Amino acid sequence: MVSGLSSHRCDATRVLGYPDGPENRMFRLNNTIFKLAFYSVCALGVFVWYVSNLMVYTISQPIIKSTRITKLNKTVHENIKFILIWTDPAIDPIVKLGNGQQTFVERECPVKSCFVTSDRHFFKDITEFEVIIFHGKEIVRSLPAMPEIRSTHQKYIFASMESSDYYPICDVRFKGFFNWTWTYKLNSDEYNGYIIVRNKKGIIIGPKQDMDWLRIEEMDPVTKEVEIKLSRKTKIAAWFVSNCRAPSGRDYFFIEVQRELNKHGLSVDVYGECGNKICPRDDESKCFKLIKRDYYFYFAFENSLSEDYVTEKLLTAIRNYAIPVVYGAANYTRFMPNGTYLNGRDLGAKELARQMIEIYEDKKKYKRFFKWHNHYSYHDVYESPESDSICKLCAIINNKTVFDKATVYEDFNSWWNPKGRC
Ligand SMILES: *[C@@H]1O[C@H](CO)[C@@H](O)[C@H](O)[C@H]1NC(C)=O
Ligand SMILES: *[C@@H]1O[C@H](CO)[C@@H](O)[C@H](O)[C@H]1NC(C)=O
Ligand SMILES: *[C@@H]1O[C@H](CO)[C@@H](O)[C@H](O)[C@H]1NC(C)=O
Ligand SMILES: *[C@@H]1O[C@H](CO)[C@@H](O)[C@H](O)[C@H]1NC(C)=O
Ligand SMILES: *[C@@H]1O[C@H](CO)[C@@H](O)[C@H](O)[C@H]1NC(C)=O
Structure-model confidence comparison of residues 36 and 61, the more confident one: 36
What is the rounded (10 degree) CA torsion for 65, 71, 76, 80? Answer: 70
CA distance 167 to 410: 19
Strands 295-301 and 131-135 come out as: unpaired
The 3-class SS string of 317-379 reads HHHCCCEEEEECCCCHHHCCCCCCCEEHHHHHHHHHHHHHHHHHCCHHHHHHCCHHHHCEEEE
Q: How far, in Å, is the centroid of ligand 2 from the Cα of 333?
A: 7
Report pLDDT for 13.
29
| % of the chain at pLDDT higher than 90 | 67
Position in ligand 2 atom list of the atom nearest CA 332 = 1
Q: Are 148 and 401 in contact (CB under 8 A)?
A: no
Tell me the fold of 215-374.
Rossmann fold (3.40.50)
Q: How far, in Å, is the centroid of ligand 2 from the Cα of 390?
A: 29
Report pLDDT for 265.
95
Q: How far, in Å, is the centroid of ligand 4 from the Cα of 248?
A: 38
- The predicted-structure confidence for 248-264, as pLDDT tens digits, reads as follows 889 899 999 999 999 99
CA distance 417 to 151: 27
- The predicted-structure confidence for 141-196, as pLDDT tens digits, reads as follows 767 788 989 999 999 999 999 999 999 999 888 999 999 999 999 999 999 999 99
Residue 67 has pLDDT above 70, yes or no: no
Ligand 1 is surrounded, with C-beta below 6 A, by 64, 66, 68-70, 73, 76
Report pLDDT for 68.
54
Structure-model confidence comparison of residues 94 and 4, the more confident one: 94
The verdict on whether omega for the bond into residue 385 sits within 30 degrees of 0, i.e. cis, is no
- Can you count the helices (H) and strands (E) in the chain? 14, 14
CA distance 392 to 196: 13
- For ligand 2, whether the C-beta of 217 sits within 6 Å is no
pTM: 0.81
- Name the residue ranges covered by the structural domains of the chain: 6-55, 81-193+389-416, 215-374
Report pLDDT for 285.
83
> Which residue's CA is the closest to the ligand 3 atom numbered 14?
338
- The predicted-structure confidence for 286-301, as pLDDT tens digits, reads as follows 888 999 999 999 999 9
